[in-house]
Amino acid sequence: MPEALPTSYRVRDDLVISPNLVLAPMEGVTDITFRRLIRQIGGCGMTFTEFIPAAGLSRGGARELLLATFDEAERPITIQVFGNDPTVLAEGARVAQDLGASAVDLNMGCPSKRVCAHSGGSALLKEPLLVARIVRAMRAAVSIPFTVKMRSGWEPERENAVEIARIAEAEGAEAIAVHWRTRSEKYGGQRRLDTIAAVRQAVGVPVLANGDIVDAPSALHTLRQTGVHGLMIGRGAIKNPWVFREIEAALHGLAAPIVDEAEKERVLLAYFDAIRETFRHEKAALGRFKKISKYFIDGIRDGESLKVQILRSQTPDEAIGHIHEHFEGLKVRAVRAPAMPPRAERARS
Ligand SMILES: Cc1cc2nc3c(=O)[nH]c(=O)nc-3n(C[C@H](O)[C@H](O)[C@H](O)COP(=O)(O)O)c2cc1C
């Protein structure tokens, strides 16, 4: 019998996520331009905005409204908000609903000092009673699906994701995403999936696993080890925007689609063009190029030198020039040194 791994999950009848692969919220990355790129490539069942301060959103702040902008074709999309005041968060959720979001999500994962200092993000994990009040208020404020995303706890000695997940479910959260790291581990630590598996056992709503899912093997391993309904992918999607298609294929027992260097060059350049369109100021566009390049270029052959060149670039044109040169160089080298046939073929010929 082939093993049956889930390929979709149902939040409610009007929100079925298929494939069950979700783009994680990432500040300064998952804006409308990046999400368009992910949607065009395909394989992603739902996208998230980056976290948006509920206070600014509820005031109708221009920056916050811009962050919440999405294309109609992008659905389903979740608007994620953060804060620590139940009334303000409820108002932020209401605005997200008015903007037409498919779902609204509460951030309980952000490790940044700025956010945690005001008891927002992952600092909420230390205050279960406040979590209950926030979830209750947000749930009551909207009729669209309401979800939460969290880390596994504040620090390894105080992992309380199961407790928080139970509270969130009891107060009406309809799906729960869990990043296996605690707040104190930031982006390091040893990958542990037991807490995610425990959350999956503890609640009846769909659970998404998050953290270091970067390809088909890590995706299948996570699904098998945790029994979750779906996967949420962050940095792996910046490094390899085709990762959703690769995992979707694997879930159906198919081989990964082949993405050659010409396709990577085309996508990277088209994406940088789109960034320039969005960020009319050259400096802001260059800043975004650099942020994306740190990850994307890891997926390009001999990319280390290109990464350094882009990080040193003074203008977007200079960075784009380096990309052209790099891919031209790869083409020239491929013509001069055609790939060696596999050993078995060499032996036969
Ligand atoms: C640049 C960056 C920005 C992030 N911003 C957010 C955010 O706005 N909201 C949130 O819930 N998590 C945020 N995260 C955390 C990710 O959503 C995710 O939980 C984390 O990166 C682990 O998943 P990954 O290993 O697939 O990247 C951010 C992560 C990165 C790298």
pLDDT tens by residue, 312-337: 999 999 999 999 999 999 888 877 77
CATH for 9-251 is 3.20.20.70
Q: Which atom of ligand 1 is nearest to the CA of 232?
A: 26
Does ligand 1 lie within 6 Å of residue 107's CB atom?
A: yes
pLDDT in tens, 296-314: 988 888 899 999 999 999 9
Q: Answer for the pair 104, 140: CB distance below 8 angstroms, yes or no.
A: no
Q: Is 44 a catalytic residue?
A: no
Catalytic entry in 37, 89, 110, 176: 110
How many whole angstroms separate alpha carbon 195 and alpha carbon 179?
9
Beta bridge partners of 177: 149, 208
Comparing C-alpha atoms, which of 80, 82, 79 is closest to residue 112? 82
Q: Is the CB of 52 under 6 A from ligand 1?
A: no
Specify the residue with its C-alpha closest to ligand 1, atom 3: 26
Write down the pLDDT at residue 2.
53
Q: Does a cis peptide bond (omega within 30 degrees of 0) precede residue 206?
A: no
Say if ligand 1 is within 6 A of residue 193 CB. no
> What separation in Å is there between the alpha carbon of 112 and the centre of ligand 1?
11
User: What's the 334 CA to ligand 1 centre distance in angstroms?
Assistant: 36
Q: How many CB atoms lie within 10 A of CB 28?
A: 11
Determine the pLDDT at residue 339.
58
Locus of tokens 């992603």: 44
Q: Is the CB of 213 under 6 A from ligand 1?
A: yes
- Judge whether 19 and 251 are in contact, CB under 8 Å: yes
How remote is the CA of residue 232 from the centroid of ligand 1, in Å?
A: 10
**Cα 345 to Cα 152: distance, rounded to the nearest angstrom:** 50
Q: Is 49 in the pocket of ligand 1 (CB under 6 A)?
A: no
In the reported structure, the alpha carbon of residue 324 is separated from the centroid of ligand 1 by a whole-number distance in angstroms of 30
The pTM assigned to this predicted structure is 0.94
Ligand 1 pocket: which of 23, 27, 116 to mutate (most atoms <8 Å of CB)? 27
Closest C-alpha residue for ligand 1 atom 4:
26
3 exposure class (CB count in 10 Å sphere: 0-12, 13-18, 19+): exposed
Angle CA 195–198–203, to nearest 5: 125
pLDDT digit string, tens, across residues 237-282: 999 999 999 999 999 999 998 999 999 999 999 999 999 999 989 9
Cβ of residue 235 lying under 6 Å from some atom of ligand 1? yes
3-state secondary structure the chain: CCCCCCCCEEEECCEEECCCEEECCCCCCCCHHHHHHHHHHCCCCEEECCCEEHHHHHCCCHHHHHHCCCCHHHCCEEEEEECCCHHHHHHHHHHHHHCCCCEEEEEECCCCHHHHHCCCHHHHHHCHHHHHHHHHHHHHHCCCCEEEEEECECCHHHECHHHHHHHHHHCCCCCEEEECCCHHHCCCCCCCCHHHHHHHHHCCCCEEEECCCCCHHHHHHHHHHHCCCEEEECHHHHHCCCHHHHHHHHHCCCCCCCCCHHHHHHHHHHHHHHHHHHCCCHHHHHHHHHHHHHHHHHHCCCHHHHHHHHHHCCCHHHHHHHHHHHHHHHHHHHHHCCCCCCHHHHHHC
Q: How far apart are CA 323 and CA 297, in angstroms?
A: 10
Separation CA 227–CA 6 (nearest Å): 9
Q: Which tens digits make up the pLDDT trace of 68-126?
A: 999 999 999 999 999 999 999 999 999 999 999 999 999 998 887 877 777 788 899 99
149, 23 contact by CB (below 8 A)? no
Q: Domain map of the chain by residue range? A: 9-251, 261-335
Query: In this predicted model, what pLDDT tens digit does every residue of 13-64 receive, in sequence order?
Result: 999 999 999 999 999 999 999 999 999 999 999 999 999 999 999 999 999 9
Angle (CA) 8 109 179, round 5°: 45
> Facing residues of 2 across strands?
none
Ligand 1 atom 21 nearest Cα: 234
CA separation for the pair 170, 195 (Å, rounded)? 19
Residue 26 Cα to ligand 1 middle (Å)? 5
85 alpha carbon, distance to own chain's centre: 25
- Mean per-residue pLDDT, 163-175: 98
User: 267 — phi, psi (to 5°)?
Assistant: -65, -45
Ligand 1: does its nearest atom lie under 6 Å from the Cβ of 141? Answer: no
Ligand 1 lined by 47 (C-beta under 6 Å): no
